[in-house]
Amino acid sequence: MKSLGFFALSLASLPLCSGAPSFGRGEDAASTFLSELIATTQAIEKRSPNVSCQLSALAVDLGYANIRYAAPPTGALRWQPPQPPSPEISNGTTPATEFGPFCPQNYPAVPGAPFIPGSEDCLFLNVYAPTGAKDLPVMVWIHGGGYGFGDGRQDMSEILNANDNGFVVVSIQYRLGAFGFLSSADVKSRGAVNAGLLDQALALAWVQKHACKFGGDHKRITITGESAGAGSVMYHALAADGSLGSLFFTNGIAASPYLPFQYGFDADFPTQRYQSFAEKAGCSLEADVLECLRGKDSIILQEASANTTAEQTYGRWAFSPVTDGVYIKSLASEQLTQKRVNGERLLVGNNANEGPLFAPPDIASNSDLGAWLKLSFPNLSGAQIDEIIAKNPTKTGANDTRFETNGLTGLTALDISQAGAGPLQQAIVSYTSSYPIRSGALT
């Protein structure tokens, strides 16, 4: 494997949905979806050993792009669990030479954040495998981006080249922003909250079913990602209260997981964002708000999603995973301490320099810091905020500020610290180290 290149793929060899029922929709949609997904994935172990898994005409020299794993989640399928592709789409040949379109994008609430239209028809994945691959472990890459932006269109052949082509890589895309994480009692009762996570779950089931056709071993699947991708890894590790075992994956690697404060699906915060989104889309005064949203033009919804995020506090997104009672049942802080976790192994790390991207640059006093902490962690009491500040004292003198350095710069940490006020640096450190708090450790 020397460079990125893709070929045509016969979809008839990948029967994604032939004879398969549609997954749950409407009332209790997520529960029905999960039950059916578990059943279809468990059936993989029961397939006849006489059935050849290897594709007869497959030449996985470099990889395949633009493989559809779900039907377009548009119109009536908005805010529903992902559905398998229709037979007429699956049973044919598709060009696998170029990446599929990326999903609608929401950038964090920072000045100058762009609006970049995407396509709702974006539930595609890409497969990379060495020539002659057979029974290799599989790595599934889940991209980051605050659950609001990003895509799975990176050239993953580079990571294979750097690791002696010792495994198969699958990169996936999932619904983002309001399209993937809109939440309210109305959405829950007539569709699915956490739709973006359910997209990922369907993609993982696809990998379980078809990995061997690309030379992968479905019993050795590692899911990995960075930031929101790593947060997604954590959510799948905690899914269904940790009752899924190794059904969808064996290992998880979470590089700096982004786990924002986890609200209930009908809590004030997600409900207010749902109402704001509906207002911006021109549906707030309709008798049936959700039906109105499902009938709106995609660009109107994309702009409404982006504008709702733009109203948030600095560096935050409006839409993120919630406790839904089906796929996500508990806080990470509760499940991890009780070891209610899926998979066999979970490796979690942290990026030291990710926090500065999302901490507001105008924090100049402890008062500013306290106000920011209250906005970022709304369940913290005034006493808890005072305690946090007291345990991490800073002075107004820049030379007294503790400032991290990677040791490679020509400037000393003390020199660099003169560019930042103490409370600002503390905000950066708080954000970088806040994932356990955001996932419910301080509630």
Residue numbers annotated as active site? 227, 354
Strand partners, 347: 253
In this structure, are strands 136-142 and 168-172 parallel, antiparallel, or unpaired?
A: parallel
Residue 95 CB coordination number (10 Å): 12
With a CB cutoff of 8 Å and minimum separation 6, the contacts of 81 are 23, 24, 25, 29, 30, 32, 33, 192, 195, 198, 202
For residue 275, give Cα distances in angstroms to 78, 109, 178, 185, 269. 17, 18, 11, 11, 10
Q: How many CA atoms lie within 13 A of 234 on its CB side?
A: 28
What is the CA angle 298-146-409, rounded to 5?
A: 135
Cα atoms in the 13 Å half-sphere on the side-chain side of 147: 30
Token output for 106: 């929401």
Q: In what order do the strands lie in the sheet with 63-68?
A: 63-68, 124-128, 168-172, 136-142, 216-226, 251-255, 345-349
As a whole number of angstroms, the distance between CA 14 and CA 206 comes to: 10
Q: Token pair of 181, please?
A: 């994480």
